[in-house]
Structure 1
């Protein structure tokens, strides 16, 4: 080992050391302290326990850009997580674990969402209540830059959109919405504020009745409900409003079930 060049030592790291982590990291993310310890050991091995001669970003940079090509453990973990999502989103890939994943995705914030969950902005407090694998999987999706969001085109697709922490429903200051009293009362998706048998959204008094019934032991000010209601309606994209105002839920269209083996 002492006679290896710096590139030889990097080759040893990639083939004999970090490569043994990939299988485990595909299902169980490495804690940050473990990643730091491994990175420190890698740096010591590369420089033979001497101070690093180049910056860490150069060490993990690609060889074409002048780096040493050592994998970034954190980004590699996210990449492995995204491989699961690629299979999850592929309709031709049929397997039983998709149903299991949907079950846990629906636990996020009690929103009862599965595929539509990937349209929202993830909140740390909600992620912490999920199993470790899923609490790491969802933020991995957030790391994808400039990924194309599929806009809802049908009434059912619009109804499945979450009202809160949805990147498409934002206030004038660019922030996503979240109203605790609405969420706790079960008003979590657009489906919860529209009529079932005729086009349009429910009037304010209907929303207030739903919320006040849930909080029957607590006084809820109607002015607060109205203020939140007005904000929600104003923030829903115009194209979605047009669909809501011209269509309704007739019971003939159901959400597609996941194909299982």
Structure 2
């Protein structure tokens, strides 16, 4: 990959989109992970106003520290970068007191995890609305179009997606070139939605390198019978998630009314 050229391409794409939309800046949720670090860095390089937003909800201290370190170094390097911190913990806890519960702990935990992401989306759009800015998404290609590892109308609710055509490994390449700090580059990817230390790999059952391989194999027309052992297991994981999460990757179904009924 021609890393510097890809960076320039994305930065120019962001600037061109914002200019055509008559928008003066971007809002980016910064989590302490590689995707949000790269996205916020790319937005900063446009020269347009960029607000980096921390939105902790019972967040692990290590994630908070990485996010704060990243924002601090971006502000030092780019005069167009500012930051906001919106602690949503109390909002989340209040929501739990008024929302109906369920007997299924697994469904409850997942619903609450997705609620965290949707509360953050609401906060980002609140800031974007008050400033007249765009919400920049942080999803990569494997998450957005491979396994659907994101929350519908949560971190998937954005105005534009600057890194959604990049594999996770390519995002890391950009991160190094963009001078993202080492603590983020070496951290295990996590969505931080469950209030514990589980990583993305823990949840998915496969690493991003494995998922990239499976994505490539599927694109080449391979099927489950072509593999054995761990490769077969990973390919099955990828296919299963790609299938069950199609509702996130395709347009919302619209019930078309026949003309003769109108």
TM (normalized to structure 1)?
Answer: 0.24
Larger radius of gyration: 1
Which of 1 and 2 has higher RCO (CA within 8 Å, sep 6+)? 2
TM (normalized to structure 2)?
Answer: 0.24
The structure with more strand, counted as a fraction of residues? 2
